[in-house]
Amino acid sequence: MHNTFNKRAKDKRIEKKEFGQDEVFVSHRDEGSSSAKKPCNPKRILVEGDPGMGKTTLCQDLAFRWARQECTGECKCAPCVHSWYVVIYLTAADLQGYQDIHSAVKDHLLSDCDIDQVKKALDFCEDKTLFIIDSFDEGHKDNVLLRDLIKGKVHANATLLLTSRPNYLQDPLKKHFQSGVSL
């Protein structure tokens, strides 16, 4: 499945580029910048788009493919969604009112598990965990846990893919993202 994503260039021009969903995990920095000389696998990825552009569909499809499909090895980039041992898909609103990510994951996704099991799994596989957090624009107010996840204060070695409508994520938080695409 290919989508058309807009790569944000350094001079604010929009360059349209078509690429597959898994390529969202590869840095899309301006090739002219010094930071783009070496390929990297960003830990913080921002996907922005207007309502109805497919942000939630992208999140759901990535989570579904990780859970239900085997890696065929056809991905032309690394990493693909199957590179992670753990994929957590939540909305930003799901994190509101929580002090720690373990409790949010337990309550929303793993209610049958003991909190210690959730902590152990997430902590043990931190660098192989992908957090897909959808709808920043709908759940960012008074959301300390979400801000800490973005800043890397919570599971800094995990990968975060965050979706939002344009212009909701402001510079103090936006600077923590190593890659960004617009739908």
Report yes or no: 50 and 64 within 8 Å, Cβ to Cβ.
no
Percent over 70 (pLDDT), the chain:
73
In the structure, what pLDDT confidence band is assigned to residue 3 with cuts at 50, 70 and 90?
Answer: very low
pLDDT digits (tens, 9 = 90+) for 117-136: 999 999 999 999 999 999 99
pLDDT given for residue 82 in this prediction: 80
Q: Would you call 19 exposed, middle or buried from its count of C-beta atoms within 10 A (0-12, 13-18, 19+)?
A: middle
Percent over 90 (pLDDT), the chain:
54
Stretch 25-36: mean pLDDT, rounded?
A: 52
pLDDT of 4 > 70? The answer is no
pLDDT given for residue 81 in this prediction: 81
3-state secondary structure of 138: helix
pLDDT digits (tens, 9 = 90+) for 31-69: 444 444 344 678 999 999 999 988 999 999 989 988 887
More confident residue, 30 or 119: 119
Of 46, 79, 77, the C-alpha closest to 179 is 46
pTM comes to 0.80
Residues 6+ apart with CB under 8 A from 16: 4, 5, 6, 7
In the structure, what pLDDT confidence band is assigned to residue 176 with cuts at 50, 70 and 90?
Answer: very high
pLDDT of 143 > 70? The answer is yes
DSSP 90-123: EEHHHHTT-SSHHHHHHHHT-TTS-HHHHHHHHH
Amino acid identity at 73:
G
More confident residue, 131 or 12: 131
The domain total for the chain is 1
Stretch 159-163: mean pLDDT, rounded?
A: 95
Structural domain for 103, as ranges: 2-182
Peptide bond into 79 cis (omega under 30): yes
The CATH number for 104's domain is 3.40.50.300
